[in-house]
Amino acid sequence: MPELPEVETIRRGLDKYIVKKKLMRATVLCEKSFVGEVSDARGSVAGLRRYGKALIIDLDNGKSLMVHLRMTGQLIYDGAERYAAGHPSENFVAELPNKQTRVVMEFDDGTLYFNDQRKFGFIKVLGTAEVEEDAFIKKLAPEPWAMEADEFYAKLQRHKNALIKAVILDQTIICGLGNIYADEALFAAEIHPERKAGMVSRAEAEELLKDARMVMERSIESGGSTMATYVKADGTKGDYLEKFAQVFRREGQPCVRCGNEIKKIRVAGRGTHICTRCQK
């Protein structure tokens, strides 16, 4: 679930809890969820970086932890207070570790839990100098802010027979969008998700690129679609979906632009939300 805005929110939110803190030891509860030598996951945290939907935790021992939450990953820091982010679930306020806990990272003043219901996500330890050479990182396309309309349009032309929604979900074409923001950006740009990429005009491509930036910026500003939860209080979940989503999970409700009923269909194997009147 976590798309670029959620991971960026985690990067910013986790900073004050673990940067300059000492990671004493990591314990792997699910082998599939951890790649590399676990004893390398030790040392002080030098900083946090992000590449698309991947979070990088740089350590001062020459190693880095690459965290990819995929569909259901969560990072929950439990110390004097709790900071939880990622896939929203009861785990945010549950006793930890629990049966969805895959990796436990013990710091000098708290514990960082990597939880992941479906086990699609992972933590990978690798040399800090090798992060940018990692196969996944290396093939990521630029984020929308770093891409010119001409480049984006050229990529749509290259994949002219693929559905536009599938194209913008491809991280090697444009980086950061997931199922929510793909639907939101296509709605904002008034483009039907089943249109072939080659049938998107240069002007529409420019608008779509602009809207992709816009929907993700708005989400980051509000703390991600599922706002990181500070569980000192009551687990207030902030909510891009409620505050800003125009179509995602709004099937059956009226379109904010024209009042027509929002429909849910399947495109490229993903649940897809559209206004059939606005999006052509």
Partner DNA sequence: CTAGGATCCTGTCAGC
Partner DNA sequence: TGCTGACAGGATCCTA
Compute the distance between CA of residue 169 and CA of residue 146 in angstroms, rounded to an integer: 17
**Smallest distance from the beta carbon of 273 to DNA, in angstroms?**
9
Contact 113, 146 (CB under 8 A): no
Location of structure tokens 């690459």: 66
Residues in the chain: 280
User: If you compute the radius of gyration of the chain from its CA atoms, what whole number of angstroms results?
Assistant: 19
- At 165, give phi and psi (nearest 5°): -65, -45
Q: Which residues contact 236 (CB under 8 A, 6 or more apart)?
A: 227, 229
Using the contact rule CB under 7 A, the part of the chain among 16-24, 39-47, 124-132, 173-181 near DNA is 173-181
Is 136 near DNA (CB under 7 A)? yes
**Smallest distance from the beta carbon of 171 to DNA, in angstroms?**
5
Where does residue 196 rank: exposed (0-12), middle (13-18), buried (19+ CB within 10 A)?
middle
State the DSSP code for 254.
B
Task: Give the one residue of 100, 229, 246, 279 binding DNA; rule: CB under 7 A.
Answer: 100
Is 117 near DNA (CB under 7 A)? yes
Q: Which residues contact 184 (CB under 8 A, 6 or more apart)?
A: 211, 215, 244, 245, 246, 247, 248
Is 32 near DNA (CB under 7 A)? yes
Q: Is 270 a catalytic residue?
A: yes
Is 195 near DNA (CB under 7 A)? no
**Smallest distance from the beta carbon of 257 to DNA, in angstroms?**
22
Nearer to DNA, 64 or 226 (CB): 226
Residue 86 is inside which H or E element, if any?
strand 82-86
Is 274 near DNA (CB under 7 A)? no
Using the contact rule CB under 7 A, the part of the chain among 19-27, 40-48, 68-76, 143-151 near DNA is 68-76
Is 119 near DNA (CB under 7 A)? yes
Q: Which residues contact 10 (CB under 8 A, 6 or more apart)?
A: 2, 55, 75, 85, 86, 224, 228
Nearer to DNA, 159 or 213 (CB): 159
Nearer to DNA, 107 or 187 (CB): 187
Which residue among the candidates 6, 8, 42, 53 is catalytic per the annotation? 53
Site string for DNA, 33-62 (x = CB under 7 A): -------------------xx---------
Compute the distance between CA of residue 260 and CA of residue 127 in angstroms, rounded to an integer: 52
Task: Give the one residue of 70, 202, 257, 263 binding DNA; rule: CB under 7 A.
Answer: 70
Using the contact rule CB under 7 A, the part of the chain among 11-19, 38-46, 65-73, 146-154 near DNA is 65-73
Contact 112, 105 (CB under 8 A): yes
- The footprint of DNA (CB under 7 A) covers 1-3, 6, 32, 52-53, 68, 70-71, 88, 99-100, 117-120, 135-136, 158-163, 166-167, 169, 171, 178-180, 197, 224-226, 241, 266, 268-271
- Return the active site residues: 2-3, 53, 270
